[in-house]
């Protein structure tokens, strides 16, 4: 269907406005990272570009000051990489089972996956906390990583993506003598690269920004993730806005770099997962 020039112009204007609205918070935190903490206390985070109060002092303090910022940063980076990798592996394997095989109770189990997607995480907090406590995993990284590696939304997305792959590919692999594991590893996984990129970005964002669950199970300051560490900078006895604002600015960069690196695959994966099956 051919789109008229007027419709194209309206779309261009609409998405330009959306782009500006999205970039405004990033601009505000970028400008704020060059301002001293007292300016943020006095005027808050704003869009005013005032060279008279801007300097690199916050950045100097970030890289040379006495604080635990880079410990928090490395903890979050480690947890995000491990959690995303395990989530993609486990969820893709489960989704492949739903998409490629017929077995008793398959529809019931998939309905359970859909029901889990509808349950807010806050409802699961208390039973999950109790289970973690009785398993002796409190104050450990396993308590953060393990509960989320079989992600219902990721399983659903992978299953929808895999349903668009011709089953003749699997049959051809069996005819050639490949094992079921060989078919999955050599034939299916390479085809799933776009979906892996899309889910890596979404799960990476969730893991990097997650604060509620890690805050409940981690009490050792040396194991704090970046969101928890930044939260500790705001206390009734004093607020370190200098480190908070520049630390928040740097916390955006890993996700931004991840998205820019995989944006092409992200769009392909999301599109394919939406229309296939």
pLDDT tens for each residue of 34-69: 988 888 878 777 888 888 888 898 898 888 888 889
pTM of the model: 0.85
Judgement on whether residues 200 and 271 belong to the same structural domain of the protein:
yes
Judgement on whether residues 112 and 161 belong to the same structural domain of the protein:
yes
Which residue do the tokens 């017929």 mark? Answer: 102
Q: Could you tell me which of 98, 103, 225 has the C-alpha nearest to residue 154?
A: 98
Average pLDDT value for residue range 3-18: 85
Q: Which of 40, 65, 90 is the last residue of a domain?
A: 65
Contact by Cβ (8 Å): 269, 161: yes
Confidence label for 276 from pLDDT (cuts 50, 70 and 90):
very low
Judgement on whether residues 16 and 99 belong to the same structural domain of the protein:
no
Judgement on whether residues 239 and 144 belong to the same structural domain of the protein:
yes
What is the percentage of the chain residues whose pLDDT exceeds 90? 32
Q: Which of 10, 43, 65 is the last residue of a domain?
A: 65
Q: Give helix 193-209 / helix 241-275 axis angle, nearest 10°.
A: 150
Judgement on whether residues 16 and 85 belong to the same structural domain of the protein:
no
Q: Could you tell me which of 86, 46, 92 has the C-alpha nearest to residue 192?
A: 92
Q: How far is CA 131 from the centre of its chain?
A: 24
- Convert the pLDDT of each residue in 246-262 to its tens digit: 998 889 888 888 888 77
The range of the structural domain enclosing residue 213 comes to 67-275
| DSSP helix/strand/coil, 211 | coil
Predicted confidence (pLDDT) at residue 22 exceeds the cutoff of 50:
yes
Average pLDDT value for residue range 144-157: 91
Longest Cα separation, the chain: 73
Predicted confidence (pLDDT) at residue 273 exceeds the cutoff of 60:
no
Interior/surface letters 150-174, b for 16+ CB within 10 angstroms, e for the rest: bbbbbbbbbbbbbeebeeeebeebe
Judgement on whether residues 43 and 112 belong to the same structural domain of the protein:
no
What pLDDT shows up at residue 52? 84
Predicted confidence (pLDDT) at residue 274 exceeds the cutoff of 50:
no
Contact by Cβ (8 Å): 195, 158: yes
**Greater model confidence, 73 or 263:** 73
Count up the domains in the chain and report the number. Answer: 2
Judgement on whether residues 73 and 17 belong to the same structural domain of the protein:
no
Judgement on whether residues 25 and 60 belong to the same structural domain of the protein:
yes
What pLDDT shows up at residue 268? 64
Average pLDDT value for residue range 180-206: 88
Judgement on whether residues 38 and 127 belong to the same structural domain of the protein:
no
Judgement on whether residues 44 and 176 belong to the same structural domain of the protein:
no
Judgement on whether residues 124 and 53 belong to the same structural domain of the protein:
no
Q: Which residues is 234 bridged to in the sheet?
A: 239
If you compute the radius of gyration of the chain from its CA atoms, what whole number of angstroms results? Answer: 23
CATH number of the domain at 236, please: 1.10.3720.10
Judgement on whether residues 255 and 202 belong to the same structural domain of the protein:
yes
């Amino acid at each position: 269907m051919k789109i008229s020039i007027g419709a194209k112009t309206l779309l261009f204007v609409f998405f330009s406005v959306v782009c500006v609205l999205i970039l405004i918070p990033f601009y505000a935190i970028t400008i704020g990272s060059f301002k001293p903490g007292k300016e943020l206390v006095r005027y808050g985070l704003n869009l005013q570009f005032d060279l008279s109060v801007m300097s690199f002092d916050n950045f100097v303090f970030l890289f040379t000051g006495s604080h635990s910022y880079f410990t928090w940063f490395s903890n979050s980076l480690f947890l995000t990489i491990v959690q995303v990798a395990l989530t993609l592996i486990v969820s893709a394997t489960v989704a492949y089972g739903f998409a490629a095989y017929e077995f008793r109770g398959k529809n019931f189990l998939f309905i359970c996956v859909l029901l889990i997607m509808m349950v807010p995480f806050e409802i699961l907090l208390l039973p999950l906390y109790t289970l973690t406590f009785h398993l002796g995993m409190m104050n450990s990284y396993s308590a953060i990583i393990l509960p989320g590696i079989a992600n219902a939304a990721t399983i659903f997305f992978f299953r929808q993506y895999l349903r668009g792959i011709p089953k003749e590919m699997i049959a051809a692999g069996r005819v050639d003598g490949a094992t079921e594991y060989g078919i999955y590893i050599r034939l299916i996984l390479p085809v799933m690269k776009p979906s892996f990129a899309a889910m890596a970005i979404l799960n990476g964002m969730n893991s990097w920004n997650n604060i509620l669950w890690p805050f409940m199970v981690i009490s050792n300051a040396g194991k704090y993730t970046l969101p928890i560490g930044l939260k500790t900078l705001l206390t009734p006895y004093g607020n370190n806005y200098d480190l908070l604002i520049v630390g928040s600015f740097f916390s955006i960069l890993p996700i931004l770099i991840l998205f820019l690196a995989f944006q092409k695959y992200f769009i392909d994966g999301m599109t394919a997962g939406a229309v296939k099956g």
